[in-house]
Structure 1
Amino acid sequence: MGARIGVGLLGLGTVGGGVASILLSPQERHPLVADLELIRVAVRDLQRPRPVDLSPEQLTTDPQTVVEDPRVDVVVEVIGGIEPARSLILAAIKAGKSVVTANKAVIARHGGEIAQAAAAAGVYVLIEAAVGGGIPIIEPLKQSLGGNRINRVSGIINGTTNYILTRMADEGAAYEDVLAEAQRLGYAEADPAADVDGLDAADKIAILSTLAFGGGVDRQSIPTEGISRLQGEDVDYARQLGYGVKLLAVAERMATSEASAEALALSLRVQPTLVPSHHPLAGVQGVNNAILVEGDPIGQVMFYGPGAGAGPTASAVVADILNIAGIRQASGGDGRLDPLLAAGSWRSCSLVDPGNVRQRHYVRFNTQDAPGVIGRIGGCFGDRDISIQSIVQFNASSAGAEIVVITHEVDQRRMDEALAAIRALPEVSGLAAHLGCL
Structure 2
Amino acid sequence: MNVGLIGFGTIGAGVVEIFNTNHDLIREKTGKDLKLKRVVDLDIETDRGVDIDPEILSTDADDILNDPEIDIVIELIGGYEPARSFILRALENGKHVVTANKALLARHWDEIMATARENGVRIAFEASVGGGIPVLRALNESLAANRIKSIYGIINGTANYILTRMASEGMEFDDVLREAQRLGYAERDPTFDIEGHDTAQKLIILALLGFGVYVPEEDLHVEGISKIRRDDIEYANNELGCSVKLLATASLDDGELEMGVMPFLVPHEHLLSSVNGVFNGIYITGDFTGPVMFYGKGAGRRATASAVVADCMDIALNPESPLQPGPGVRMVESIREFRETRSRYYIRLDAVDRPGVLHEIAGAFSRHEISIESVTQKGALEGESVPIYIVTHEAAEGDIQSAIREISEIRWVTGEPVRLKIL
* TM interval, short-chain normalised: over 0.9
The answer on 1:274 being equivalent to 2:247 is no
The number of residues matched between the two structures is: 418
Aligned to 2:368: 384
* Correspondent of 1:10 among 1, 6, 13: 6
Is the Cα contact below 8 Å between 2:99 and 2:124 reproduced in 1?
Answer: yes
Distance 2:300 2:183 in 1: 12
The answer on 1:429 being equivalent to 2:420 is no
Cα displacement string for residues 140-164 of structure 1 (whole angstroms, at most 9, x for unaligned residues): 1111111212121111000011111
Question: Displacement, 1:372?
Answer: 4.4
Distance 2:238 2:116 in 1: 51
2:34 is aligned with what amino acid?
A: L
Distance 1:243 1:62 in 2: 52
Question: Displacement, 1:28?
Answer: 6.8
SS at match of 1:161: helix
Question: Displacement, 1:336?
Answer: 4.5
Cα displacement string for residues 171-205 of structure 1 (whole angstroms, at most 9, x for unaligned residues): 01222222122122221122211111111001000
| Larger mean Cα displacement after TM superposition, 292-301 or 50-59 | 50-59
* Correspondent of 1:405 among 385, 390, 402: 390
Spell out the pairing of 1:247-266 with structure 2 (5 A cutoff). 247-255=246-254, 259=255, 265-266=256-257
1:245 is aligned with what amino acid?
A: V
> Do the aligned partners of residues 196 and 184 (structure 1) sit closer, same or farther apart at CA in structure 2, a change above 3 Å counting?
same
1:11 is aligned with what amino acid?
A: G
Using structure 2 for the length normalisation, give the TM-score.
0.93
Aligned to 1:366: 350
Cα displacement string for residues 208-251 of structure 1 (whole angstroms, at most 9, x for unaligned residues): 01111012112222111111222222122222222111111111
Aligned to 2:341: 357
SS at match of 2:221: coil
Distance 1:173 1:229 in 2: 14
Is the Cα contact below 8 Å between 2:404 and 2:417 reproduced in 1?
Answer: no
SS at match of 1:47: coil
CA-atom RMSD in angstroms = 1.9
Distance 1:254 1:396 in 2: 45
Is the Cα contact below 8 Å between 1:210 and 1:345 reproduced in 2?
Answer: no
Is the Cα contact below 8 Å between 2:123 and 2:323 reproduced in 1?
Answer: no
Question: Displacement, 1:375?
Answer: 4.0
Is the Cα contact below 8 Å between 2:121 and 2:323 reproduced in 1?
Answer: no
Aligned to 1:155: 153
Question: Displacement, 1:422?
Answer: 2.3
SS at match of 1:390: strand
Using structure 1 for the length normalisation, give the TM-score.
0.90
Distance 1:194 1:424 in 2: 31
* Correspondent of 2:112 among 114, 121, 135: 114
> Do the aligned partners of residues 7 and 32 (structure 1) sit closer, same or farther apart at CA in structure 2, a change above 3 Å counting?
farther
SS at match of 1:22: helix
Unpaired runs of 5+ residues, structure 1, are 260-264, 329-334
Question: Displacement, 1:425?
Answer: 3.4
> Do the aligned partners of residues 345 and 90 (structure 1) sit closer, same or farther apart at CA in structure 2, a change above 3 Å counting?
farther
Question: Displacement, 1:419?
Answer: 1.7
SS at match of 2:145: coil
Question: Displacement, 1:122?
Answer: 1.1
Distance 2:70 2:314 in 1: 16
| Larger mean Cα displacement after TM superposition, 243-252 or 162-171 | 243-252
1:248 is aligned with what amino acid?
A: L
Is the Cα contact below 8 Å between 2:245 and 2:264 reproduced in 1?
Answer: yes
1:196 is aligned with what amino acid?
A: I
Aligned to 1:61: 59
2:242 is aligned with what amino acid?
A: Y
1:244 is aligned with what amino acid?
A: S
| Larger mean Cα displacement after TM superposition, 183-192 or 38-47 | 183-192
Cα displacement string for residues 356-376 of structure 1 (whole angstroms, at most 9, x for unaligned residues): 122222211212223443344
Question: Displacement, 1:348?
Answer: 7.8
Aligned to 2:163: 165
Aligned to 2:378: 394
* Correspondent of 2:330 among 347, 350, 373: 347
Distance 1:363 1:28 in 2: 57
Question: Displacement, 1:139?
Answer: 0.7
Aligned to 2:89: 91
Distance 2:38 2:116 in 1: 22
Question: Displacement, 1:308?
Answer: 0.4
2:276 is aligned with what amino acid?
A: Q
* Correspondent of 1:20 among 13, 16, 24: 16
Cα displacement string for residues 20-41 of structure 1 (whole angstroms, at most 9, x for unaligned residues): 1111222673424771100111
1:50 is aligned with what amino acid?
A: R
> Do the aligned partners of residues 344 and 95 (structure 1) sit closer, same or farther apart at CA in structure 2, a change above 3 Å counting?
farther
Spell out the pairing of 1:62-77 with structure 2 (5 A cutoff). 62-77=60-75
* Correspondent of 1:222 among 186, 204, 220: 220
Is the Cα contact below 8 Å between 2:364 and 2:407 reproduced in 1?
Answer: yes
Distance 1:285 1:325 in 2: 36
The answer on 1:417 being equivalent to 2:408 is no
Distance 2:226 2:414 in 1: 22
> Do the aligned partners of residues 395 and 35 (structure 1) sit closer, same or farther apart at CA in structure 2, a change above 3 Å counting?
farther
Question: Displacement, 1:100?
Answer: 0.7
Is the Cα contact below 8 Å between 2:139 and 2:326 reproduced in 1?
Answer: no
SS at match of 1:93: helix
